[in-house]
Amino acid sequence: MQRANYTLLTEFILTGVPHPPRLRTFLLVFFLLIYILTQLGNLLILITVCTDTQLRARPMYIFLGTLSIIDMGISSIIVPRLMMNFTPGIKPISFGSCVAQLYFYHFLGSTVCYLYTTMAYDRYLAICQPLRYPVLMSAKLSTLLVAGAWVAGSIHGAIQAILTFHLPYYGPNQVDYFFCDIPAVLKLACADTTVNELVTFVDIGVVVASCFSLILLSYIFIIRAILRIRTADGRQRAFSTCGAHMTIVTVYYVPCAFIYLRPDSHSLLDGAAALFPTAINPFLNPLIYTLRNQEVKLALRRMIGGQRAKSEA
């Protein structure tokens, strides 16, 4: 009955990324550039895929366009709030905004996991079943797979948000992190969090482990198929097709496993690791997929050439 007299929190204070005060301006400009380049790079890929007739009907580029949308979303949810911590004064975040940030981060983050798995399966069919690929992976099926990833991601995000914020929060309100995430917020709960931590570990563990295992299995078959290719040029093109995807998957999954799949995930290194899936990965995706993908580069040239022809006419 005594707790009934307590007042529920209406806002949280995010401590941000630990940094020397003299680097505050540099970090603000750095993450501002990262955010702008992330939005522009992913928007460029999205426009290229949507406007190029040779790309927009192909499953691989349907997935790539979806990934660009998700990357812009994750970056917009996290990075602007991160930059506020490099400006003078205390910038509290309302309770509702904290709930929304946690939900959308886990919604989009888990959708990325499912999307990476789908992309690996797509590459497996393209390399291991090239003659049957148009039948096995049609544009309709790829659209359904993308829709399924969105739905599964939204359910996962809702589960995590409800489990985290159904607990009472009376104070303190200082979150030792740069955004509202499960481990940091649960530390402030005025109730036993054992069940929450267990469910979070199992839920995220199942998503990460199952998706990563399926990706790994797909690439085992892909590598076996590539090694059977007789020409060096054919092997190089096949490895180039899959290299970008494997690079992004590695940079994404390793930090996520480090943050969520350890018995005690409250160390300062968690914040540094979380910068990869929230800020670095969305920035790198368009660079890797454009620099290592000849078809995207050709589509960009066609789009730029078409715009020049129109302006000259």
Tens digits of per-residue pLDDT, 40-53?
999 999 998 888 88
217-252 residue pLDDT tens: 998 888 888 877 777 776 776 666 677 777 788 888
Look at residue 274 and tell me whether its pLDDT is greater than 80: yes
**What count of other Cβ atoms lies within 10 Å of the Cβ of residue 132?**
10
Exposed/middle/buried for 228, CB within 10 Å: 0-12, 13-18, 19+?
exposed
Residue 238 pLDDT:
66
Residue 185 pLDDT:
93
Residue 234 pLDDT:
66
Residue 144 pLDDT:
95
103-156 residue pLDDT tens: 999 999 999 999 999 999 998 998 888 889 999 998 889 999 999 999 999 999
Whether residue 274 contacts residue 267, with contact meaning beta carbons closer than 8 Å, is answered with no
CA-to-CA dists, residue 142 to 22, 53, 236, angstroms = 49, 17, 26
CA-to-CA dists, residue 285 to 39, 126, 188, 308, angstroms = 11, 21, 34, 27
**What count of other Cβ atoms lies within 10 Å of the Cβ of residue 3?**
9
Give the pairing of strands 11-14 and 92-94.
antiparallel
Exposed/middle/buried for 179, CB within 10 Å: 0-12, 13-18, 19+?
buried
Highest mean pLDDT, choosing among 30-39, 163-172, 264-273: 30-39
Position 2 confidence tier, pLDDT thresholds 50, 70, 90: very low
| Angstrom distance (rounded) from CA 83 to CA 30 | 9
Whether residue 196 contacts residue 149, with contact meaning beta carbons closer than 8 Å, is answered with no
What is the model's pTM? 0.89
Provide the 3-class DSSP secondary structure of residue 167. coil
**What count of other Cβ atoms lies within 10 Å of the Cβ of residue 237?**
13
Look at residue 84 and tell me whether its pLDDT is greater than 80: yes
Percent of the chain with pLDDT over 90: 42
Look at residue 3 and tell me whether its pLDDT is greater than 60: no
Look at residue 264 and tell me whether its pLDDT is greater than 90: no
Residue located via tokens 């910068």: 275
Instruction: Give every CB contact of residue 184 below 8 A, 6+ residues apart in sequence.
Output: 175, 176, 177, 266
- Kindly state the tokens that stand for 55: 């790309």
Residue 7 pLDDT:
73
| Angstrom distance (rounded) from CA 111 to CA 293 | 23
